[in-house]
Every structure is written in structure tokens, then in C-alpha cells.
Structure 1
């Protein structure tokens, strides 16, 4: 069941990609049994990975020391995206409760964001933490469109935005509007740019299936410019991460796509099912963990991810 899989591997589209992988390294399936895997987050101190199985309403934990998988939290409130903050705590987007939460070191849960201007959020989807401790997250309506990954409800806000929660005041503010379904997001290494995917094509016939590149203002809190960075050639760009050289490793319908600094597709890692999200892990951040539809995969690369 587990180990190296047939039908997986690397596809070189541009020569640059050939230097990103190790010739004898192969894609490994570490575990299977989910309904829809999402939001992998690596915890270096414990050498484990936490990820979401959204429809099964649980967070799972893969242990690097022995390869075991256990339930980290059940119920998870249909948690989707996860990340690790500057103090090593788990930050999660919960569809069912329509909020962003933080798991404290003692195991208690604090609410980071649940409302904007007195209105409930739609269903926070993915989240990143900036070096200043601010929490940035997307808020599409996927979790309130159906009961499978949340609970059907009307949007109180009426739109889907990208938000920032201030680390000092806790105030939640909109930083970017005009999205159909804002989804995955990540900062560049210098935090001068924020990348956000828009997966609006899932519910709008002519909707987007791209990643936008947003330039932050000098205050590091606002957006002063934005442009389309890359359009997905197979399915949608859901979740993604950057490596230290500025390449983006992003989910797609046929696996993981690697984009260079200009947004050009330079290569693929083929996975035998649709991919929801990825993250870098391991002691040297050179192991890419891939949340496929039903399974958790990994592959060692010749690149290093951002923390």
C-alpha cells in the first residue's frame, strides 16, 4: 500500500527544473484513508506533520520518527488550512465555526478571527503568519456552500476577501478584495510580495484559475499593486509554498506544478490523484509533503523551502 508508487515522477518542461530534483528520489505514499486532504503544516521541534481531512472532521498527525499516523484532533470543526506561527503554535482555518484559531502550547484553543465589522466570516480557507506575528488568511465561501465540508449558510459579508489579523490589537482588516474564491496564499522570502490563488472557476463558468501577485506597501500591512502571476494549465492552484530561490510549488489536478519567478511552468511532480496543498518539511526543509485527495505523499528535493 505504501512506498514508491507507479505512475508518479518528475516531468521536466524547462531545463531549470532538472536541477530541482534528485535522480533516484521517488514519490512515496506515506498514508491513505482520507476523503479530502488539505493544509499540511510541519512542526520541526516534534518532527511531525499535521494536516486536515476536512469531510471526516479531523486533523491527522504523521510522525517522522516511526511513520505512524494518528488523529491529532477530532472533531476539528472541518479544519482546512493550517500553518505554524512564530512561536511554534498551530494556526487553523475552521469551516464549521467560520473562524481562524490558534492551538496554544497547553492545548487550549484561542480564536484569532471570527468576524469582520460585526459580520461572521464565510469559511476561512488558508492561512500564513508573517514575521511580525500578523495572521493573513483567505475567506472564500466553500464551507458555507454545502454541508460536506462545513454547514450550508448564507454569507453575511456577501463577498470573499483576504484578511489580516493584527498581532497586537487583534483587529481584523481586509487587505485585498475583488476575488471570486481566494484560496491558497504565501509570502515571498522578503515578505515584499503576497501570492494568492483564486479558484473561482469551481463555481463560476468564466471564473479564474490563477495565482495573483500582490505587492505590499511600505507599512507591510496594505496592498499597493497586484497582477496575475500564473494561470493553471490543469485544474486549479489550491495551496502552494515557495522555496528559497523564489520558485512556487503548487497543487494542481495532475499533481504538483513548479513555477519559476516569472510564473512560467517549468516542471511537474505527477501524483495519481488531485492535490489540495503542499508544504516543505524535514530537518533541512528539503522534503515536500503533498496532501492528495485521499493520501499523504512526500518526495525529497534538491531545493529547500521557506520556513
Structure 2
């Protein structure tokens, strides 16, 4: 979540002519009042989900065509949900769709070549893009693309899949081989990468087979990565001084882990692709809830006016379920 800006108080200033006529106590209160927080996160209150729940499909989000594909990378920006819509044709053609507050679905970015999505501090979409085998930033107003990360050690990536952005602008992303055939070239291994604010790319972990989902704790002091296939794991990396340390397996027995998100309490929402479910875990790795869907699932994000609607994407479907607390918008 976006950290709350600490309120500040300013020293007393000379009163302007318009203020000289105010009573002294009121004048002092006005001059020394703290500034309102900028982009403050809503208060974290409420209970995490528990037990077994079922999400429902969002009307009007079925694919327009008949070609098989996936919806991926949901992200809530402003008053709308954005997500990638790609097919399994040559190059894995992809576009970014927008589901507006009126319930209408439209294309926001055509030919994005994207998979997982996130939003930066300015409200732009940052995307894991398999068509250019790198990480891209899209300006929502113009649709213009710029590259955040293009290569590592002189080579393009395999097929960037999902990403998370820290408060200081650091981008973390996974690079499995699922859409490696989308374009020539690639890396000699599947890895998790870190892109520093200055653009330098470094490896976080090269020991997870096909790393997939990725998320940050609300305080930004823990990085989570899922991967490993049929008998997958969620691995946790403590972040100290902005740099992830050695990871440890927090959750085991995850069936084909895909994308994930976190709520404001730090609970993890982990999708299991072919199991057609999302499981909720505490920060300590204890299972809290299961949310079922009716098709293969790919990813999840919180949204809605109060941030308490969990949206999930998958095989030609977007699902939603109301929860008791807010969470990460991607």
C-alpha cells in the first residue's frame, strides 16, 4: 500500500491582513494546523476472510472472440479495473482492457504484449511485457510505451510475467519461460529480478523454477514470490535497506501457483491456477480461507471505491467478491 505521509506542522508566520481580524486562538490553530496527508492509504480495519467462499463472475467480461487465452494482471487505477487479455496465438497477442464504473469493457492499450500489471506513483501502468521481453511503462492518457528494464547482461529476458513496485520506485519482477516463444532471445535461466530506481537490474533469486506471482508486504519490508509448478511454494525475502536478503519457503504445497496480492494486514492471497481457487494465508503462512472460482485462475487485486472488493482474473473470466478489509490494488 502507499505509505501515509506523516503530517507536518509549520512555524508561526506573520498574519496576513485578512487573518488579523480572527480571534487569537483560532488564528493560532489555523497557522499551526498539520497538513493533510497526500495519497494516504485508507485505515486498515476489518476482518480477514475465513472458511470457504465462492467468487462470482463480473457481468460483461466474457471474451469477445472464440480464441483460447487468459485474462491476467488485474490492477485498480482511479475508478476502473485494468487487466491484460492475451491469446495463445503466435507471439501471444495481448491488449490491456478497462472495466469502467459503468460496467462497460473497452480496450485501453491495444497491442500491449502484456501479462502482469502494476501502477506506479503517478498512476501509470507498469507491465511485464512478453512481446518485447522486458518491463514497460504505459502512459494511460497517450498509450505511449517506455522501457523500465530491457536486458540483463546484454540479453533480453525470457517472458516477464508479474511485478511489484516498492514505495521508492524499485520494481521487482518474475521471469519464467511461459511465453518465451513470443520473440527471439532470452536468458539461460528463470529468475526473479530487481530494478533499482536508477535502472540497474540485479538478480534476487535464480533458484525457483518458473517464478510466477510476486508481491510486497504493506510495509515494504518483505518480498513474496510464488513458483515451482505442480508442487509449488511461496518464498519470503526480508528487505533490509531496500535490498532483499536470502529467501525462505513460507508456504509449501501450492498447486501451480500463479499471481498473488496482499491485504492491508499483510495476509497473502495466492492463486492456484489449475486448482481454480485462491487461498488466503496469514503473514506467518497459516491458511485462513479458500475462495473458489469456476475456471483456471491467474491473478488477483483489490479495488472498488473502498478497496474492499477482490477482483480475480483467469481463463476468459473476471470474478469479484466483497471482503471485510482493503488491500493492494494489484
User: Shorter chain as normaliser: what TM range?
Assistant: 0.7 to 0.9
Find the counterpart in structure 2 of residue 211 from structure 1.
Answer: 234
Answering whether residue 322 of structure 2 is matched by residue 287 of structure 1, we say: no
Find the counterpart in structure 2 of residue 63 from structure 1.
Answer: 100
Q: 2:80 aligns with which of 48, 54, 62?
A: 48
* RMSD (Å), alpha carbons: 2.4
Q: Which runs of 5+ in 2 are unaligned?
A: 1-45, 88-92
Residues of 1 paired with 2:55 and 2:137: CA distance?
34
1:97, distance to aligned residue in structure 2 (A): 1.3
Asked if the contact 1:216–1:225 (Cα under 8 Å) also holds between the matched residues in 2, the reply is: no
Q: May I ask how many residue pairs the two structures share in their alignment?
A: 271
Find the counterpart in structure 1 of residue 269 from structure 2.
Answer: 249
Asked if the contact 1:28–1:299 (Cα under 8 Å) also holds between the matched residues in 2, the reply is: no
Any idea what the Cα deviations from partners look like across 1:236-263, whole Å, max 9, x if unmatched? 2200111111211121222221112221
Answering whether residue 226 of structure 2 is matched by residue 188 of structure 1, we say: no
Query: Which has a greater percent of strand?
Result: 1
Q: Which runs of 5+ in 1 are unaligned?
A: 1-16, 202-207
Find the counterpart in structure 2 of residue 82 from structure 1.
Answer: 117
Asked if the contact 2:163–2:171 (Cα under 8 Å) also holds between the matched residues in 1, the reply is: yes
Residues of 2 paired with 1:246 and 1:35: CA distance?
31
Residues of 1 paired with 2:297 and 2:229: CA distance?
17
Residues of 2 paired with 1:180 and 1:72: CA distance?
33
Find the counterpart in structure 2 of residue 4 from structure 1.
Answer: none
Residues 24 and 192 (structure 1), Cα distance of their counterparts in 2 relative to 1, 3 Å cut: closer
Residues of 1 paired with 2:193 and 2:221: CA distance?
17
Larger Rg: 2
1:49, distance to aligned residue in structure 2 (A): 1.0
Find the counterpart in structure 1 of residue 30 from structure 2.
Answer: none
Any idea what the Cα deviations from partners look like across 1:48-93, whole Å, max 9, x if unmatched? 11101121522211002x100011222122x100000111110011
Secondary structure of the residue aligned to 1:72 is: strand
Asked if the contact 2:118–2:127 (Cα under 8 Å) also holds between the matched residues in 1, the reply is: yes
Residues of 2 paired with 1:186 and 1:24: CA distance?
23
TM-score normalised by the chain length of structure 2: 0.76
